[in-house]
A and B are shown apart, each in its own frame.
Chain A
Amino acid sequence: MANYTMHMLVCSGTGCKSAESDLITANLEKYVAEANMTDEVQVLKTGCFGFCEKGPVVKILPDNTFYVQVTPDDAEEIVNEHIIKGRKVERLLFVDPKTEKMVSDSKKMDFYKKQLRIALRNCGLIDPDNIDEYIARDGYHALGMALTEMTPQDVIKVVKDSGLRGRGGGGFPTGLKWEIASKNDADQKYVVCNADEGDPGAFMDRSILEGDPHSVVEAMAICGYSMGATIGKVYIRAEYPLAIKRLEKAIEDAREYGLLGKDIMGTGFDFDIELTFGAGAFVCGEETALIHSMEGERGEPTTKPPFPAESGYWGKPTNVNNVETFANVPVILLKGADWFSSIGSEKSKGTKVFALAGKINNVGLIEVPMGTTLREVIYDIGGGIKDGKKFKAVQTGGPSGGCLTVDDLDTPIDYENLIAKGSMMGSGGMIVMDEDDCMPAVAKFYLEFTEEESCGKCTPCRVGTKRLSELLELITDGKGKMEHLDELKRLSRVIKDTALCGLGQTAPNPVLSTMEAFWDEYIAHIKDGRCPAGQCTNLLQYIISEAKCVGCTACVRVCPTNAITGTVKKPHVIDQAKCIKCGACYDKCKFEAISKQ
């Protein structure tokens, strides 16, 4: 048997895979074989390391060397230098932008220092396609323990005591949900995993399924045991082919080992899992719409009650949980409710996975204890704002959420605090905005999204989101009036109060929260006809500074509408009536004489 003394882990999440991580793996294997080291050095593909900004990543263990932005051509040098000669390939090491020093040990990188990985415990550590590696990490032990040493009520009690709450957005206590489902008697019950993940910019659930699919499979079986269900369904969007492939393989392997199917581990408990593919409609992530979609009906929500726990899939008691919620369950059983509830804030226990995106240096996937501040997430883990710009706001909760500002940087992030700030946890997307982002335009972006994704069943949402986005369009076009602001507020209230499902009820949040925090920007658009961030093209004016212009005529030649006039060596002027705001002159002028206002 091979006695490995070195492991080379290659990220093969969707992000890094598209950057040829498969070829990197193949090349590493080739050179390791040429060096005659296949019994000592193991090359393997893992799930996402989270540091997507600098992918593809190759991590070498046990010394934790972290190579970033690796290309297939680097494989030979890594093997020759690191493995054979025992020297690090310095040019591939991560350079800390703050200290400008190379950091070779990933544990010492700021990006990882403040993270605590519970849901992502195996992502980037094991080969997701290898069930043995999951078992080696105590995989299926929580299920074994539940089936042999615990009653269903014991399981529910542990989950309840742990304080785990739903990670899909609402934050409903998971143990309580399981208890309700367990108490509703029926000949058949169902466990559903919600892997629809429709927030723009979110990829937490995808990464868990790609990096550690067995954790979800195991948790679903545990849930089935606790509530008396024998069938599990995963509703997963068809746009996630790699996650689907890994999940299918996990289910197949678990069946082969007798960890799914009939009489699991000889205990008499039966449980199996099937997949249903979603077509990627945002509203299908809402649990009632999701259930209708699984039944082959239109993916439209219906009123609650009845809740799925009473009448869900085919009218039977159904427990719906999010991917990340499930991924927490096996560890909670193994390490105990006290361990889990010791992490986090008063009412929000454990950790949360966030997908950092937007104007931030370290775009990627992170997991932090609940109660971590926004400042820690953005500056310590995220490495601060791109290009040294100023932080302006961060949108949490996707299109249903709101924005947090500089004033909120020291607020501990948990369910309650985010709600109090007019935002919400949502599923964990965090989009960071800087001084160049125009907030009315951000609100417009989200409203266009919800308008597009509204299923159209109820009027407040179908018509209301359209009206909201039309009003925002007027404002960002410079045609806004002060009464439009009152109209936005009034309409938002009506939609919140009357829409049928969460999509409509939360759709006005981005409008309300940006109006609350950036009222001045709305006023500037309307009263001054000015976009302070310089984003709204219709409000822009390109102006030539008389003092700076040397009259070189360069701009005249690039202007497509002949809006610029002037004599050589004399200051030029732009005719605002003819200017179409293309910015060609701005880019061309070598004397910084043209400004955008």
Chain B
Amino acid sequence: MAKIKSFEELKKIKDQVQSKVGLREKGENIDNLIQIRVAMATCGIASGAREIMNYMIDEMTSQGIENAVVTQTGCMGYCYAEPTIEVTTPGKEPVIYGDVTKEKAKEIIDEHVIKGELVDGIIPMTHKTIDQ
């Protein structure tokens, strides 16, 4: 490891390593954040949930979205519509999207996460999330 030669350099390193603890810091404040849960059971992964999840994390990082957190959950029971993601805005009922593609994921970020407007592709709720 090269030595840190200035305070500026230290700040740069912090930006690079921030993601290491960012998720944990968000946990402290989870009730005020929009939670995006990607179903990461076998069926979800087989349909490309992992790619969608990584895409969403990267996209939100590059847009600098701080008030949302991407995490994973198990099978939500919509195997016919994988990849599925659940978006929960504080104080509101969770919403589940099915057959999420990268384009759809982008739309969800741009419309739902940022502007709070629902987009097409919502699966009617039939299950309870693990917290209930």
Chain A interface residues (CB < 8 Å from chain B): 3-7, 9, 36-37, 39-41, 61-64, 83-88, 104, 107, 125-126, 130, 132-133, 135-138, 140-141, 144-145, 147-148, 256-259, 265-267
Contact = CB atoms under 8 A, between A and B. Distances in A.
Given A86-B76, A141-B11, 7 more contacts: A6-B23, A61-B24, A62-B26, A62-B71, A63-B131, A125-B24, A258-B3
B87 interface: no
A258 B106 CA distance: 42
A133 B24 CA distance: 11
Contacts of A3: 53-54, 57-58
Interface stretch (B34-42, B97-105, B107-115): B34-42
A40 B53 contact: yes
A61 B21 CA distance: 10
A5 B85 CA distance: 13
Contacts of A40: 40, 50, 53, 72
Contacts of B75: 85-86
Interface string B11-31: 101100111111111111011
A117 B25 CA distance: 13
B41 A85 contact: yes
Contacts of A257: 1, 3-4
A136 B5 contact: no
A107 B26 CA distance: 13
A85 B74 contact: yes
Contacts of A148: 6-7
A62 B11 contact: no
A93 B56 CA distance: 31
B96 interface: no
A577 B41 CA distance: 74
Query: How big is the B interface, by class?
Result: 35 or more
A140 B28 CA distance: 22
A255 to B, nearest CB: 9
Contacts of B50: 39-40
A140 B50 CA distance: 35
Given A3-B53, A40-B50, A62 B24 contact: yes
Given A61-B27, A63-B30, A141-B10, A136 B72 contact: no
Given A63-B30, A86-B75, A88-B130, A133 B14 contact: no
A63 B10 contact: no
A79 to B, nearest CB: 11
Nearest to A4: B23
Of A88, A137, A256, most buried by chain B (CB within 10 Å of CB) is A137
A40 B56 CA distance: 13
B130 A86 contact: yes
Interface of B: 1, 3-7, 9-11, 13-14, 17-28, 30-31, 35, 38-42, 45, 50, 53-54, 57-58, 69-76, 130-131
5 contacts: A3-B57, A62-B30, A62-B35, A133-B17, A265-B4
Contact of B23 (A5, A83, A86, A132): A5
A266 B71 contact: no
A64 B30 contact: yes
B1 A63 contact: no
B130 A87 contact: yes
B72 A6 contact: yes
B22 to A, nearest CB: 8
Contacts of A147: 7
B71 A145 contact: no
Given A85-B75, A256-B1, A257-B1, A141 B130 contact: no
For the complex of A and B, the 7 pairs showing the least CB-CB separation, nearest first, are: A86-B74, A258-B3, A144-B7, A86-B73, A62-B27, A61-B27, A85-B74
B104 to A, nearest CB: 19
Contact of A6 (B6, B25, B71): B71
Contacts of B28: 107
Contacts of B21: 125-126, 133, 136-137
Given A132-B17, A132-B20, A265-B7, A5 B38 contact: yes
Contacts of B131: 63, 104
